[in-house]
Structures are given as structure tokens and as C-alpha cells.
DNA sequence: CGTTATCTTGATAAGTCTCAATGCAAGTGG
DNA sequence: CCACTTGCATTGAGACTTATCAAGATAACG
């Protein structure tokens, strides 16, 4: 059940006329694509539940994942659209479209949206530029452990090894090998391939920072 | 001759009181560092002449160059500052500080500043993630040939091989080797190490895109 | 229960980094 | 003016990392 064309725009209109009416949440099935309306300069998305990925197709057929989105995360739709991006559900996801860029400054000042995104991109620049696969994976796991924040007994990665690979810009095999290596080194436990329990956070931080 | 502390802020104040008064241009010697005031949330920089680099020190002692700035380019100071960045003159440079983020919307809407920067960072993400050294260099040369735009008889790179290396996130030796290779392949001429004449732009584009 | 997708591991090849040496050009001080 | 220094550019040799190709193991699913 995709968000239909211009649904977000209608949500925006509804909010403009009756500011107190909360926009209806939308659901995406696993693997489904979020439709980005043609005119979405002032629209943003807030994830209520689930996990999404921001994908960009590359000329050679591969894809790059520029971000994962979890509950509470927000992103400007125009920014994704203007770089040939798409937003896909990694797990069943619920989200809300809302107005940004001054149309709804109380809820989300446009500056903040830009600033946060710039910060995230900068971090990824440093990561992709100068970290090797092991360091990338360590940084990724630390980032996920913070953003997922599911308590001390480990966390579940909702995305596949392929997704992780496209996020870190390495091959899926390399992701696997480094998972295995980290387990062998006693940094992690992997009760199953999705569940991660960090055993030596300090070491991971030493590697990943 | 660095821009003194809070000079930019004073320029801002001057503009606010007398909008028609143009702020005084500032000059940097080759290699000099532009001072970034502590409070620069609403300040931006426009390059009048010369070339600057936006540098970020990394934990392992290396540096990353996130952008080169040429005449006409603008950049928000706070964005650089918030990522431990510095702005250094590659060549003697003249620049003007001005207000952004709504304080001076006519001159430069803050949104545009953010959007352009986001776009530039996205492009660099794609480059760093999935291009090899040869492709990076091809893309770099095409970018420089557009931004420098000095006519058909080639252009002069104002920055060193080390700067290029830190921009592309490869070693300076690799930059050299790929220059040499491109010359051997007949894609380029290098009358001297700074001057580039592109012989087969279509081939470069095929490699770099 | 078979089919498919995902995950993992191995072997090999390719690309890049590091270390080292040399060349070159500009600037400096005697 | 000339030796000298210094920084940048280039090239080579070797080590290391990662991608690619291939195959098997595991789990999800109709």
C-alpha cells in the first residue's frame, strides 16, 4: 500500500486549513516503495515505526544507500528526489508526511532538517573516504546500536547484509567476513545473523572512530 | 592577513544598519587560514578571487578536503566550523563575508546555500563510494574544467597533487600515476604539472560519470 | 518439501597504499 | 652567481586490502 501520488500534498493542504488535524499515518509493506510526489519541495517525512532505506541507483547498475530511517527520523522528500533517490521499506513501516520549510515551523524548522542531513553526509564522507571495511563496519554497528537503542542485551539489525554493503560501499562478502572476524576477535556475538550483541564497545569505538 | 576575530560579525552589523554599504573585501595570502568567528551561524563567505580549500583534520592525522572554492563560490561558515573544518587559501584569495539565513535573504537565501552544499556532498558520496582512482580523477578534472572555465586551450589547476589526493581520498602517488596513465592514453596533455589540456572529453566523461 | 533468497567461506585477481628513491623548480643565503 | 635547502612531482617495488567469481550452508516461504 504505497502512498498515492500527491497524497502528501493533500496532507499538507489539510494541515494548512485545519492545523490541529493530525495527518493520517501511512503504511508500507516490506520492500515497498514510497511514492515521492513531483512537487515536494516543502514536504518531509517522519517515520513512526519500522525501518526504511534511502536508495540511489548508480550508472553502473549498483545502488548506494545514503541512509537508513528509523522511528522518529525525519527527512526532506525533495532532497531525496533531487538525487534520483527512492525510499523503500526495509521492514513494514508506518510514517507521516508533514510540511517543512517554514510552512510548519513549529513542527520542524527547515534549517534543522538541512543541518542534520548535512551533518550525516559529512560523517559518511569521512567514513567512505578514509576507513577500511573493518572500521566502516565498526562505525556502522556503533551507529546502529545508538539509533536502535534496544537495551543492553543486543539489538536486531532490520536490514540485510546487502543493504549494509550498499550503505558502507563494500561488497556483501566483505561485510560477512568482517562480521565473522569481529566475532572471532571477541568483539561481538551474533546469536543469529540479524542479532548483534556488542561485547567490547570500547574496542569497537577504537576501531570505528 | 587573516580576517580578524568577529570581523565578519561587524560586517554583518554594518550591513544591517546600512544595507547599501558593501562589506570590505578581505585578502588571504597563499597558505593562510581564514579565521572562523565563534558565532557564525548566519555568516557566509563569497570568494571574489583566488582558490581556497575546505579542510577537515582526521583522527589519524590525515586531512580531508571537502571542497575547493573558486571565484563566485559561497559557503556557510557555520557548516565548516561545526565539522572541525578550516578554510585555507590555496592561492592568494580575496573574499567577502556576508549575512545569510534570512538576515539578508535578497543576497543569498539560506535554503539555497544548504541545498547547493547538500548536492555537492551527495555527488562526492557517490564518487568516494563507488569510483576507483582513475574514475575519481576523471570526474575531478571534468569538474575543475567546468568550474575554472578558462577557455578551450586548457586550464591551470591551482592546487597541488596532495590537495587533489586529499580531495579524492587517494594517495598522492596514485594521483600522479593516473595523471601519467591518462597522458599515455592520450586523454590529456600536461604541458606542466599544473596545466591540463583535455584532448578527449568524451572519453573522460565516459570514465568519470 | 521444494524453491528461493540470504548468508557464509574459499581462491584468485586487481587495485591501491606504503616505503623508498629520484627528479625538478623555486627560493635562500653566502 | 652559485651551492644549498625545501617542497612538490614522479616512478618503482612490494605488501596489503578488497572485489570478483564460485560454491556450499542456512533460513524463509509458498
The most distant pair of C-alpha atoms in chain A lies apart, rounded to whole Å, by: 59
Cβ of A58 within 8 Å of Cβ of B130? The answer is yes
Q: How many CB atoms lie within 10 A of CB A151?
A: 7
3-state secondary structure chain B: CCCCCCHHHHHHHHHHHCCCCCCCCEEECCCCEECCCCCCCCEEEEEEECCEEEEEECCCCCEEEEEEECCCCEEEHHHHHCCCCEEEECCCEEEEEEECCCCCCCCCCHHHHHHHHHHHHHHHHHHHHHCCHHHHHHHHHHHHHHHHCCCCCCEECCCCHHHHHHHHCCCHHHHHHHHHHHHHCCCEECCCCCEEEECCHHHHHHHHC
**Contact at 8 Å (CB) between A203 and A130?**
no
Q: Which of A64, A83, A114 sits opposite B114 (nearest CB)?
A: A114
Q: B190: Cβ under 7 Å from strand D?
A: yes
C-alpha cell at A76: 526532506
Which residue, among A17, A20, A11, has the nearest Cα to A43 in the 3D structure? Answer: A11
* Coil vs helix vs strand at A43: strand
Residue of A nearest to B169 (CA): A129
Residue of A nearest to B42 (CA): A111
Report the pLDDT value the prediction gives residue A6, as an integer from 0 to 100.
46
Phi and psi of B70, rounded to 5°?
A: -120, 175
C-alpha cell at B53: 580549500
> Distance in angstroms, CA of A143 to C1' of D7?
41
Q: How far is the C-alpha of B122 from the C-alpha of A85, rounded, in Å? A: 11
- What is the DSSP code (8-state) at residue A3? P
CA angle A6, A94, A13 (to 5 degrees): 30
This prediction's pTM: 0.89
State pLDDT tens for residues A128-143.
999 999 999 999 999 9
Q: Which ranges constitute the DSSP H helices of A41-132?
A: 77-81, 110-130
CB neighbours of B47 closer than 8 A, spacing ≥ 6? Answer: B69, B70, B71, B72, B73, B74, B93, B94, B95
C-alpha cell at B56: 577537515
Indicate the pLDDT class of residue A99, thresholds 50, 70 and 90: confident
Report the pLDDT value the prediction gives residue A102, as an integer from 0 to 100.
62
Each of the 209 residues of chain B gets a pLDDT tens digit; together they read 333 434 444 444 444 444 445 567 889 999 999 999 998 888 899 999 999 999 999 988 899 999 999 999 999 999 999 999 999 999 999 999 888 666 666 667 778 888 899 999 999 999 999 999 999 999 999 999 999 877 677 899 999 999 999 999 999 999 999 999 999 999 999 999 999 999 999 999 999 98
Q: A128: Cβ under 7 Å from strand C?
A: no
- Please report where in the chains the cell 587560514 appears, as a residue: B33
Task: Give strand letter and number of the nucleotide nearest A193 (CA to C1').
Answer: C7
C-alpha cell at A60: 553502473
**pLDDT of A2 over the 60 cut:** no
C-alpha cell at A27: 503504511
Q: Which of A97-106, A175-184, A194-203, B34-43 has the lowest average pLDDT?
A: A97-106
For the packed helices A201-208 and A133-148, what is the interaxial angle rounded to 10 degrees?
A: 130
**Contact at 8 Å (CB) between B101 and B43?**
no
Work out how many CB contacts closer than 8 A connect A with B: 71
Q: Average pLDDT of chain A?
A: 86
- Give chain A positions within 8 Å (CB) of B126: 56, 58, 64
**pLDDT of A31 over the 90 cut:** yes
Q: How far is the C-alpha of A1 from the C-alpha of A94, rounded, in Å? A: 11
What positions of strand D are covered by protein, i.e. any atom < 7 Å from a CB?
Answer: 8-13, 17-22, 27-28
Report chain A residues touching chain B, CB-CB < 8 A.
56, 58-60, 62, 64, 66, 79, 82-83, 101, 110-111, 114-115, 117-119, 121-122, 124-126, 128-130, 169, 209
Give the mutation candidate from A66, A79, A100, A129 for the B interface (greatest B CB count, under 10 A): A129
State pLDDT tens for residues A33-45.
999 999 888 889 9
Which residue, among B202, B178, B207, has the nearest Cα to B190 in the 3D structure? Answer: B178
Amino acid at each position: 500500500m504505497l502512498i498515492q501520488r500527491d497524497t502528501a500534498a493533500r496532507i499538507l493542504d489539510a494541515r494548512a486549513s485545519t492545523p490541529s488535524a493530525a495527518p493520517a499515518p501511512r503504511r508500507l509493506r516490506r520492500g515497498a516503495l514510497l511514492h515521492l510526489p513531483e512537487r515536494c519541495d516543502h514536504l518531509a517525512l517522519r517515520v513512526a515505526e519500522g525501518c526504511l532505506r534511502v536508495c540511489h541507483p548508480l550508472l553502473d547498475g549498483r545502488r548506494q544507500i545514503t541512509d537508513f530511517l528509523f522511528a522518529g527520523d525525519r527527512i526532506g522528500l525533495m532532497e531525496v528526489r533531487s538525487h534520483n533517490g527512492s525510499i523503500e521499506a526495509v521492514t513494514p513501516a508506518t510514517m507521516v508526511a508533514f510540511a517543512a520549510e517554514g510552512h510548519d515551523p513549529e513542527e520542524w524548522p527547515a534549517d534543522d532538517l538541512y543541518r542534520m542531513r548535512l551533518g550525516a553526509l559529512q560523517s559518511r564522507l569521512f567514513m567512505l573516504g578514509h576507513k577500511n571495511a573493518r572500521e566502516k563496519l565498526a562505525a556502522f554497528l556503533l551507529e546502529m546500536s545508538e539509533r536502535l537503542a534496544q537495551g543492553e542485551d543486543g539489538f536486531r539489525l532490520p536490514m540485510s547484509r546487502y543493504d549494509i554493503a550498499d550503505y558502507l560501499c563494500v561488497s556483501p562478502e566483505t561485510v560477512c567476513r568482517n562480521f565473522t572476524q569481529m566475532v572471532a576477535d571477541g568483539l561481538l556475538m551474533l546469536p543469529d545473523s540479524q542479532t548483534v550483541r556488542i561485547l567490547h564497545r570500547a574496542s569497537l569505538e577504537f576501531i570505528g572512530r
